[in-house]
Amino acid sequence: MSDVQQIGDARSTMLGQIRAALRDVPPTERPEDVPVARDYQQHSTAAREAIIEQFIEFTVDYKAIVHRVREAELAHEIALICQARKLSRLIVPDDLPEAWLAEIKERAEIDTRADSRTDPLSNENLDASDGVLTGCALAIAQTGTIILDSGAYQGRRAITLVPDYHLCVVFTDQIVGIVPEAIRALHPTIVQERRPLTFISGPSATSDIELNRVEGVHGPRTLEVIVVERDPAATS
Amino acid sequence: MSTVYIPMLSFTDAAKTALADTQLRRNLGKATQTIRTKRAEVVHEMEDWQGLREAGRAIKERTLRHLDHYLLELEQSVQRAGGHVHWARDAAEACQIVTRLVQQHGTSEVVKVKSMTTEEIGLNEALAEAQITAFETDLAELIIQLANEKSSHILVPAIHKNRSEIREIFLDNLAPEHVAGLTDVPADLARAARSHLRQKFLSAKVAISGANFAVAETGTVCVVESEGNGRMCLTLPPVLISVMGIEKLIPTWQDFEVFMQLLPRSSTGERMNPYTTFWTGVAASDGPQEFHLVLLDNGRINTLADEIGRQALNCIRCSACLNICPVYERTGGHAYNSVYPGPIGAILTPQLVGTEHAASLPFASSLCGACYEVCPVKINIPEVLVHLRAKVVRQHQKERRVHTYEYQEGVVMKALSYIFSNRRRYEAAQRLARIGQLPFVHGGKIDALPGKLAGWTTVRDLRPVPQQSFRDWWRKRQAQGGSTAEGVRS
Ligand code: SF4
């Protein structure tokens, strides 16, 4: 039997059997006739500052390190963190704002490598780096989650995965209160652009050994977050 | 023909073996209790939990009642996004499809993310027959694979192994450079696994995964995980093959707002699990450039045909019902002898493989109803259990193999549901039992009931009905101005 035949057979058999199995469903019933009550919170009612504080609290709760600065201080903060961590080879997506790296560039000991879709670094190269610096698409306060959608300042997925350290910049206006707000905001990315998404809540972890939480199995073992208050006057 | 690991021993025999293993009991007790407490805490944070549960149930009901429609929509969406869709009627067909795809890429090694569906179809064994090595990459799966065992818990498959056992398994099986100076500190053990697997991730050509959800509207597939091995497999190798049971579908992207709240909190007791990857076909220069989705039946359509049993397909594999189940806590997953253990296994496995092959599983429960209360998609597990028990008994009666205890249970269950369905009847029965039981209590438990009920106690030691019922105690406590429900839990 050829492949095409087999696929055709399996598909039509399965669909036929499903229809037979659902003989109790009236033929006139449409999917939307089965009621789905969305009787749960759709919007956060918390104040902006409370949302930001909750994001920080829950992100720290999941063992990430969090800093909070104004936009004008961002480049300085990034340089301080890299220095404190003794990062010498730092991966960045090629569209990362120059301004973020302004202070790092002055420091000879830190070598930044830009990765792009057209000129990607090899996995081995990423593995040999000390860490990666990116922005994000969105963040959720209620769960302490950072969302990457391979969009602006985030690069392709591999660069935030292979290095052992991830420094992530989150602007306060990117933080939503609850999960439904984030899912709604991501709809266009998924439907129109079909970009892959990654939800990150703390560094990777396992509880497989006697249920003790161990940080860092395969993803970056350290996640550090800079929460940034946008400065209306600054250009980024 | 469907193949799931068919229970070879009956549940009662296997449970007796498991009960004798004190190490297993200790680990399980600790694990289930830890997860139970964590889950209760994070569920308690959510004021709209019941609304979310109801929405989760309703979305699944909508999907299942129109499964043909949504599967076709999913097929179209995945193809539109550059992926390939395959249909597999049974385990053999699914294994064949995956094996052929791997062979087409001329590789003899694949990396794998933990997936119960691929375990259900025995994919690793099928690949091995074709000289393809599948490397399990979840820490627990790695431990299980190295120890040559089967997993005992949906979420923490190595729950029956303690740290010193894990250390020994690693020392015996991993290359010396990964285990030099290995201690039994969990972080150290994790480091050995990280170093062992990293080269595999970086060099693998093909990855194989399961799927937690797939969206008909957009073709988006999702894997929810903790360790990052999922992201590694879903991102680095150029080819990705995902095997998915046809019931894992959800209609729209928006539905994630329900399931991404229900699943992590019910499962690991976290507000959100560390990593979730969502992908829609292939993305240019980002991740795998070839994606195959295998849609698996393997007994699911049979399950769909049973109007009461169908709800078992709502399951999002969170394992909350396992952790709350008093039977599971004492026997562990292996006693169920099936890929899907615990209360969900007791209702799903017999339906997938046919009740004639797993007849003892629907009896592996005390019908206490705790599983129904914690289930994030409101599967009425006790209802399905009783329904399947009746089915088994009918089957046996037909075949003239009526086992006294099963037959009597049919009678007892009918009586119990009559009593339980009404509070006054229930309380009256309790009072009656307290007096009536006296002659049968030995050493604080009832171990031999008289006459027709004797079959019941050959497999169970009953605890006598306490002198004061919970309801009596509660009422008295309330009357004395006692504390709230929260205070009771501890
Ligand atoms: S039956 Fe419900 S509680 Fe049990 S694993 Fe499935 S979804 Fe979770």
State which H helix or E strand residue A181 sits in: helix A179-188
Q: Whole-angstrom Cα distance, residue B245 to residue B239?
A: 20
The model's pLDDT over A8-43, given as tens digits with 9 standing for 90+, comes to 699 999 999 999 999 999 999 999 999 999 999 999
Determine how β-strand B206-209 pairs with β-strand B133-136.
unpaired
For ligand 1, which residues put their CB under 6 angstroms from it?
B 266, 315-321, 344, 374-377, 379
The model's pLDDT over A36-68, given as tens digits with 9 standing for 90+, comes to 999 999 999 999 999 999 999 999 988 899 999
| Ligand 1 atom with least separation from CA of B317 | 5
Determine which residue's CA is closest to atom 3 belonging to ligand 1. B375
CB proximity B66 to A under 8 Å: yes
Domains of chain A, by residue range, sit at 48-234
Handedness of CA B409, B414, B417, B423 (dihedral sign): negative
Count Cβ–Cβ pairs < 8 Å, chain A vs chain B: 262
| Ligand 1 atom with least separation from CA of B348 | 1
Residue B469 confidence (pLDDT) above 70: no
Q: Between A119 and B448, where is the model more confident?
A: A119
The model's pLDDT over B259-300, given as tens digits with 9 standing for 90+, comes to 999 999 999 899 999 999 999 999 999 999 999 999 999 999
By C-alpha distance, the chain B residue nearest A122 is B202
Exposed e or buried b for every residue in B355-382, given b needs 16+ CB within 10 A? Answer: bebbbbbbbbbebeebbbebbbbbbbbb
- Confidence tier at A93 by pLDDT (50, 70, 90): very high
Residue A215 confidence (pLDDT) above 90: no
**What local confidence, expressed as pLDDT, does residue B155 receive?**
54
By C-alpha distance, the chain B residue nearest A125 is B202
Residue with tokens 């073996």: B17
B409 CB contacts (<8 Å, ≥6 apart)?
Answer: B363, B389, B393, B455, B456
Q: Whole-angstrom Cα distance, residue B214 to residue B223?
A: 9
Give the number of C-alpha atoms closer than 13 A to the C-alpha of residue B89, restricted to the C-beta side: 13
Record: contact B55-A36, CB cut-off 8 A: yes
State which H helix or E strand residue B214 sits in: strand B213-215
A191 φ, ψ (degrees, to nearest 5): -75, -45
Mean pLDDT of chain B: 80
A144 φ, ψ (degrees, to nearest 5): 65, 45
Residue with tokens 């690693």: B170
Name the CATH superfamily, with its identifier, for domain B11-302: NagB/RpiA/CoA transferase-like (3.40.50.10420)
Residue with tokens 């009526």: B402
Does residue B247 contact residue B301 with C-beta atoms inside 8 Å? no
Residue B118 confidence (pLDDT) above 50: yes
From the candidate CATH numbers 3.20.20.70, 3.40.50.10420, 1.10.10.10, 3.90.1640.10, the one assigned to the domain spanning A48-234 = 3.40.50.10420
**What local confidence, expressed as pLDDT, does residue B408 receive?**
46
Q: Whole-angstrom Cα distance, residue A115 to residue A104?
A: 17
Question: Predicted ipTM?
Answer: 0.94
Q: Whole-angstrom Cα distance, residue B10 to residue B24?
A: 19
CB proximity A36 to B under 8 Å: yes
CB proximity B238 to A under 8 Å: no
* Burial class for B293, CB neighbours closer than 10 Å (0-12, 13-18, 19+): buried
Record: contact A204-B226, CB cut-off 8 A: yes
Please state, in angstroms and as integers, the Cα–Cα distance from residue B157 to each residue in A208, A209, B91, B148, B376, following that order: 8, 10, 22, 13, 21
Residue with tokens 């994790």: B190
Residues listed for chain B: 490
Query: Which percentage of chain A shows pLDDT scores above 70?
Result: 91
Record: contact A35-B31, CB cut-off 8 A: no
